[in-house]
Amino acid sequence: MKTKGFLLAVAFAAMAFTFSCSSDDGESSGGSSPSGGGGGSFATVTIGTQTWMKQNLNSDVPGSKCYGDDPANCAKYGRLYDWATAMGLPSSCNSSSCSSSIQPKHRGICPSGWHIPSDDDWDALMTAVGGSSTAGTKLKSATGWNTGSGYKPGTDNYGFSALPGGLGSSAGGFLDVGDGGYWWSASEYNSINAKLMYMHNNGNTGYNVSNKDSFYSVRCLQD
């Protein structure tokens, strides 16, 4: 997979690149069902061979944030986490390489039986829905996104129901709620950056890198 990096300071609304995946026009099963995992029962959706939580994680662990410090946003979008917190690793991993500590199907703060998706996991999801050119509509919730210039409505064909939870900076600011959804990957890029997946309200979907001390959503994948 080829990844193009950018700094958090770059305006996300100006992002124009997309990630190219191989396509797969095969049918995938959608819908939801309760599923255990050692940490309770969760609404799930099966896409291709994968089973995902239908909502962003909302685990109130130390170091996590609600967008705008408003608990109502945690209820709607889930919490935001820096990379080390999401991965359940020491905070020093935000500023140094911890690749040797990343396990296959790395649990992080996900409940038992679930893990933080790797780049390969996100790739499989993109492939199952026809690639990044269609994921930006087929995986997005049909409601909850801002409808400004360039907006492409979500169709939520598979029940993934992606919402635009925005992001938080290490300096305490917040950006992009309603316009963009951003989810950590378990894959480290270098000592200070890790990989993530994004969806924007204009339909752009792809992969990028960001500072590990930035705050993004987490969507857990079943082992």
pLDDT of residue 152: 93
pLDDT of residue 36: 30
pLDDT of residue 41: 66
Please give the C-alpha separations between residue 104 and each of 31, 115, 123, 207, 217, in angstroms, as whole numbers: 27, 9, 15, 20, 20
Instruction: Provide the token pair at 218.
Output: 């987490």
Q: How far apart are CA 160 and CA 171, in angstroms?
A: 31
Q: How far apart are CA 136 and CA 201, in angstroms?
A: 8
Low-confidence ranges of the chain (pLDDT < 50): 1-40
Does residue 173 lie in a domain region?
Answer: yes
DSSP 8-class letter at 149:
T
Helix (H, G, I), strand (E, B) or coil at 214: coil
Does residue 134 lie in a domain region?
Answer: yes
Quick check: 132 and 205 in contact, CB under 8 A? yes
Number of domains the chain is built from: 1
Does residue 179 lie in a domain region?
Answer: yes
Does residue 203 lie in a domain region?
Answer: yes
Does residue 144 lie in a domain region?
Answer: yes
Q: How far apart are CA 148 and CA 113, in angstroms?
A: 39
Does residue 12 lie in a domain region?
Answer: no
DSSP 8-class letter at 14:
G
pLDDT of residue 111: 96
Domain that holds residue 112: 31-222
Does residue 17 lie in a domain region?
Answer: no
Does residue 5 lie in a domain region?
Answer: no
